[in-house]
Amino acid sequence: MRTNIVQLKAVLFLTISLHTAYAAPPFYDHWQSFGIADGLPSEKVFCIRATEDSVWAGTDRGLARYTAGRWKTYTTADGLAHRVVLSIAEDPETKDLWIGTAGGLSRFSAGRFDTFTQLNSGLSNDFVHAVTVLRGEVWVGTMAGLSRYNIAQHRWTLYDETNTPMHEIWCYSVTSSQKKVYVAVWGGGLLEYDIAQDRWKNYRDPDGEMEIDLFRDDGLLSDVVAGVAFDSADRVWVASYFGLSVYDGRRWRTFMDHDSPLASNFINFVTTHVDVAWMATDNGLSASDRENWWTYRRDPDTRAGLVTWTPANGPAERFTTETIFPHNYLLGVSFQGDDIWVATEKGVARGTRGHTRSAGTD
C-alpha cells in the first residue's frame, strides 16, 4: 500500500508539472467513516455542510452537528421544523445556519431555532429542497416555487411560473455567486437571476430529449436538473440524472459516463472547491476541472477504495486505498479547509490527503 501511494505521488508530481495550465484535483487517500455507532442519529444522510468550526449533517432523523470530535443531534423537540433535513446553508455574515426540511425552513441562531412555514411566513411551500444565503437574503427552493427572504426587512418575494420563465415550479437546488442566483428546476432546466439587472434567464435542453443527448456540447444536457454550482472563473456546473453540463459563459461542454471518467450519469449533487467540481453520484465520487479527473468508488467485496486518476493528456492510472466512504450512493459534498466531507446512504465520511497510514491508525 505504501509503495502504491508513493508511486501515485510521483505520477501526480510529473502530471501537474507538465499541465500547469490546469488546477489538477487533489487526491484523498485516507477516509474516516461515521455512523450511528459514532453518534449520528441515522445513517440516511441527505446533505452535509462544513463550517469553520463544525460539520452539519441532515438526516431523516434530525440535524447532526460534529464538533470537537463528537456528534450532537437536534430534533423537533429542540425546535427543528421537521426531522427530515434536506439542505443546510450558513449565513457568511452572521454565521446563522438555515436548514431546509420536509416541514419548513429553520434558522439556528445563538443556540435556538426559529421556524418559517406557509402559515407563519411567506414561504411558498413547506417542503424545502434547497437554501442559500447572499448579502442578507435567503433564497429557498421548494417543491412549489422559489422564495426570497430579506432578513432585515422581514420581506418575502415569491417566484413561480407567473413572474419568471420557470416552466416547472419544483426548485431542486439553489446556489449563488456575488452577481447571480442559479436555480435547478426539476424538469424545467436551469434558471439564472442577474441581481443587478433584476432579470431572469432560462437554459433548457435544446434537443428536448430527456434521456439522450442528440448533439454534443450544444447546451444543457437535460432539463431534469438536480444541482448547480459555480467556480471563481464563473463557470457554471450543472448536475442532472443524465450527466454533467458545464457553461463558461460562451459555450457548453457535456460529460457522460460512457465518454468521460464521470463515475455515473446519475448525479445527486455538485459543488466546487478551488476551481474543481465535485460530483456526488449513485456510483461514487468524481472530481474534475474539465480536463483532469479523479473517480472514487468503494469496492463492495474488499471495502477498499478504487481510485482512478485520468490526466488531461495521458493514460488513466488506477490505485487502491485502504479506506473509503461507507457507500457508493453519495448525496452531498462539503469542504472544511482541505478536508472533504461526504454524505452517503450509509453515513458520513471525511477524506484527508497525504497519508500513508492504514485504516484504524488515527
pLDDT at position 248 over 90: yes
What percent of the chain has pLDDT above 90? Answer: 82
Q: Report which secondary-structure segment, H or E, holds 17.
A: helix 2-18
Name, in order, each residue with C-beta under 8 angstroms of 135's C-beta and a sequence gap of 6 or more.
93
> How confident is the prediction for the chain on average, in pLDDT?
90
| Entry pTM | 0.90
Mean pLDDT of 178-193: 94
Q: Which CATH class is domain 41-293?
A: mainly beta
What percent of the chain has pLDDT above 70? Answer: 90
**What pLDDT was estimated at residue 106?**
98
pLDDT grade, residue 338 (50/70/90)? very high
pLDDT grade, residue 360 (50/70/90)? very low
**What pLDDT was estimated at residue 178?**
84
Whether the CA torsion 81, 85, 86, 89 is positive or negative: it is positive
- Sheet with 243-247, strands from edge to edge, namely 225-230, 236-240, 243-247, 252-255
